[in-house]
Amino acid sequence: MNKRLNIGILISGRGSNLQAIIDGIERDVIAARVTVVISNEPDAYGLTRARTHGIPTRVVDHRSYRGREAFEDQLIKTLKEFQAELVVLAGFMRVLTPHFLQAFPLRVVNIHPALLPAFPGLDVQRKAADYGVRFSGCTVHFVDEGVDAGPIIAQAVVPVYPTDTGETLAERILKMEHQVYPRVIHWIATGKVRVEGRRVFVDGAKMDEHLSPIEPSF
């Protein structure tokens, strides 16, 4: 691919979504390049994954800063240093304030392991299983000033069984995350995504791709 979007990925842990994105780029199905991976947790396994693929990494530990703004200033500085045009949150467990978002307006995306607006927040796979819902899934959305609240770009649905635990459901959802997130990043990278208020339009995407993309088609 000729033109590639520069993306900066923020993580806090395992980095399996990061891996799915790296794999998509290496398979040449995402028109992007990861210019930097930043973790707020020094021991995040995702940092090792990035290094294995020759991607620059940085640790910006929130505990080393006096407040959120100072932490976010360092994130912004690092992302700009690596010329990130899109910020991809992949299991990044800190809430970003308007201070950060103003630096990247409508240029921050997140993946959440539930069908928003149901089950925002933390430990949501267990909450969905305990609630007894029949379906859950994942949501990729633009990040705005609310928590897990911005315009929805794509959702994928999985069944929930009465025997599910948080772990079994999380595993089922994660498989969908790995399919949906790379696809959405490719859509954004190729200029297909348009936002009107809360509604997000994806040029050329089949209607069912907005719902539950089982077979990834880029």
Just list the catalytic residues. Answer: 112
CB closer to ligand GAR, 61 vs 123: 123
**Structure-token match 């969908």, residue found:** 176
On whether the CB atoms of residues 129 and 166 are closer than 8 A, the answer is: yes
Helix/strand/coil for 15? coil
CB closer to ligand GAR, 43 vs 81: 43
Closest approach, Cβ 10 to ligand GAR, in A, equals 11
For residue 38, what are its two tokens? 């930043």
Q: Which residue is nearest to ligand GAR (CB)?
A: 91
Half-sphere exposure of 39 (CA within 13 A, CB side): 21
List contacts with ligand GAR (CB under 6 A): 11, 13-17, 46, 90-91, 111-113, 174, 177
Closest approach, Cβ 126 to ligand GAR, in A, equals 12
Pairwise CA distance, residues 17 & 22, whole Å? 9
Closest approach, Cβ 173 to ligand GAR, in A, equals 7
CB closer to ligand GAR, 1 vs 93: 93
Pairwise CA distance, residues 212 & 215, whole Å? 9
Looking at this protein, which amino acid is placed at residue 64? S
For residue 54, what are its two tokens? 């020759």
CB closer to ligand GAR, 117 vs 191: 117
Closest approach, Cβ 88 to ligand GAR, in A, equals 11
